[in-house]
A and B are shown apart, each in its own frame.
Chain A
Amino acid sequence: MRKLIALCLSLTLAAFAAPAQADEAPLKVVASFSILGDMVKNVAGARADVTVIVGPDSDAHSFEPGPGHASALAEADLLVINGLGFEPWLVRLASAARSKATYVVASYGVSARLRAADTHDHAHEENHAPTSDGDFDPHAWQSLRNGIIYVRNIAEALAKKDPAHATLYEANAESYIAELSRLDEWVRAEIGRLPPQKRKVITTHDAFGYFGAAYGVSFIAPVGLSSNAEPSAQALAGLVDQIRREQIRALFMENMTSPRMMEVISRETGAEEGGTLYSDALSAPGGPAPTYTAMFRHNVPALIAAMQKN
């Protein structure tokens, strides 16, 4: 944790030290993944040219950058990353591209959760190589209150970089934050209508730790924090036992993991598939979850409909 704070501090100090540019050309902002990109667009409006590295419907955990990404980084003024070990490859990529961009760690100030290993002991965790930030669950944006912290960090960084338009960024951020707060209350109200013992869901990717903690829903995952570990028969049997024991019927495949495993579990336990949840990536513009707020408006009703069958 201390290392993380030190990292965040040094990055914010870098933000102070960077020379301000006040010309009228839009800022070139690179966001590491689609949700951050959407937040930047909401705060900066037309003042920023936003490039997203890991686009819609892609998995940032196992992303391979191309040369186009490196050139976007080389020209960027501002680089918005999630932090908490979500995109460790990006800092390497940025330095390889000789990027002069100022970093913003959007999750700075969020109270970080440990990875889900403690709550759901499926023993996959030993399959993951530990990394420096590897002990934290990076999916902090799944709580809207954390999302508000993200937006504040982004707005602050934009104002530092482009002081001439600081009031614009502040106003945009405030109205966006107001929208997020209303949405937060709506999520709480919707989930509050379900009896607490029904608030259990199985999903293929445990990206919903923060969502669960914020809104009181238990998420149980068949595969560990990364989506690329092959489970053992024992782990799968353990999960089947748990589903049978707790009588869970709400089952969700994620928008980027293998559907076959879910089919097998569903068959074994009688749990039903509840549709797609968006967690690490937004959908493409025409899809069901093209923005950060639309993601919640899509996920929450889907979750509730499935949990009602528990």
Chain B
Amino acid sequence: MIYDALIAPFVEYGFMRRALVACLALALGGGPVGTFLVLRRMSLMGDAMSHAILPGAAIGFLIAGLSIWWMSAGGLVAGLSIVLLAAIVSRTTALKEDASLAGFYLISLAAGVLIISLRGSSVDLLHVLFGTILSVTDDALLLIASIATLTLVTLAVIYRPLVIECFDPAFLRATTGGGTLWHFIFLALVVVNLVAGFQALGTLMALGLMMLPAAAARFWAGEVWSLAALSTLLAFLSGLVGLLLSYNFNLPSGPSIVLTAGVIYVGSIALGTRDSLRTRYFPRAHFHD
């Protein structure tokens, strides 16, 4: 009974195994990146970037159909260009980075929808916007796993300056001459991880598996490394539970996974051990006067 519901789907069906491995790889890359997004108060910028990927993916789609490599390369180029453009505008004009990014991502999103609609049907558009983790092919899996590896290695290298820049940017500027480089490497990592998530979950929900676990982890852990580890774990757990829900209750898989992460997030707001509703309004009685 329990075996049939929880284990059998992964033993019997290769597509379930591949979807699970894809979730693991997405969690490994997305967990730490999401954590830094939360720490740097860039959660909504992550959302903007995930939409900025669309026109590049659309151009890749125009050139080679639903080819993973073309769409990813296109998405990468588009995402990085938007980030760079936004940064240049915010550093050379009076516009702040969030406003200029929002401006570019809206242009980008509209261009993406336009490009896909020009050639493909709205069916194609749905595939790009939502993706299907059940149809993750070997190529896609390889891409997602490479991106996870690249992310972890890069983060290991830039971990120290990145953490310092999160909490004390003035100190970093004084000692190494500016955090702009780290900032850009980090933004590139965000774009790369969004491209990976977009293969599995589509552009609309790629950020879900990155942001929700990282935000949930905030209510349980206190150090940067434990936040990253916990959000990776929660992301993988969301993938696992979401896939099982999709299998046992006949639900579309992408939304199931993101909603599972959402339930964990809401549960953490209420019940977490740090700064949650529970600790604020129902504190333990161990500090009696």
Residues of A251-272 whose CB lies within 8 A of B: 256-261, 263-264, 267-268
Contact bitstring B45-71, A, C-beta under 8 A = 1, else 0? 000000000000000000001100000
Which of B132, B248, B250 has most A Cβ within 10 Å?
A: B250
- Cβ of A228 and Cβ of B123 under 8 Å apart? yes
Indicate whether A240 reaches chain B with its CB closer than 8 angstroms.
Answer: yes
Bound Cα distance A257, B122 (Å): 11
What is the chain A residue whose CB lies nearest that of B126? Answer: A228
Chain B 1-13, CB-CB to A under 8 Å as 1, else 0, gives: 0000000010011
- Taking CB atoms and an 8 Å cut-off, the chain B residues in 216-258 that contact chain A are 243, 246-254
**Given A64-B117, A237-B9, A237-B247, do A263 and B16 touch, yes or no (CB 8 Å)?**
no
The reply to whether B247 and A268 form a contact with Cβ atoms under 8 Å apart is no
Q: Which residues of B, 172-198, contact A by the 8 Å Cβ criterion?
A: none
Find out whether the CB atom of B247 lies under 8 angstroms from the CB atom of A230.
Answer: no
Beta-carbon contact of A256 and B121 below 8 Å: yes
Q: How far is the CA of A235 from the CA of B65 in the complex (A)?
A: 26
B36 at the interface (CB under 8 A from A): no
Specify which chain A residues have a CB less than 8 angstroms from the CB of B135 in the assembled complex: 258, 260-261, 263-264
State the Cβ distance, B193 to closest chain A Cβ, in Å: 21
Complex CA distance for A263 and B137, rounded to whole angstroms: 8
- The answer on a CB contact under 8 Å between B66 and A259 is yes
A310 within 8 A of B: no
* CB-CB under 8 A for A234 and B127, given A256-B121, A268-B13, A268-B15: no
Residue of A nearest to B16 (CB): A233
A114 within 8 A of B: no
Q: Measured between C-beta atoms, what is the minimum distance from A251 to chain B in Å? A: 14
What A residues does B65 contact at CB under 8 A?
259
The contact size tier of chain A is 20 to 34
- Whether, in the assembled complex, B130 has its beta carbon less than 8 Å from a beta carbon of chain A, the answer is yes
Residues B130 and A62 in contact, CB atoms below 8 Å apart: no
Q: B267 contacts the other chain (Cβ, under 8 Å)?
A: no
CA distance A240 to B117 in the complex (A): 32
Distance between Cα atoms of A228 and B121 in the complex (Å): 10
Q: A64-B122, A236-B134, A260-B137 are in contact. List 19 more A-B contacts (CB 8 A).
A: A58-B121, A62-B122, A227-B123, A228-B122, A228-B123, A231-B252, A233-B134, A233-B246, A233-B247, A234-B250, A236-B15, A237-B9, A256-B123, A257-B123, A258-B127, A259-B66, A261-B135, A263-B135, A264-B15
9 sampled A-B residue pairs with Cβ under 8 A: A58-B121, A64-B122, A227-B123, A230-B252, A233-B15, A240-B15, A258-B123, A264-B134, A264-B137
Residues of B at the A interface (CB closer than 8 Å) are 9, 12-16, 18-19, 65-66, 117, 121-124, 126-127, 130, 132, 134-137, 243, 246-254
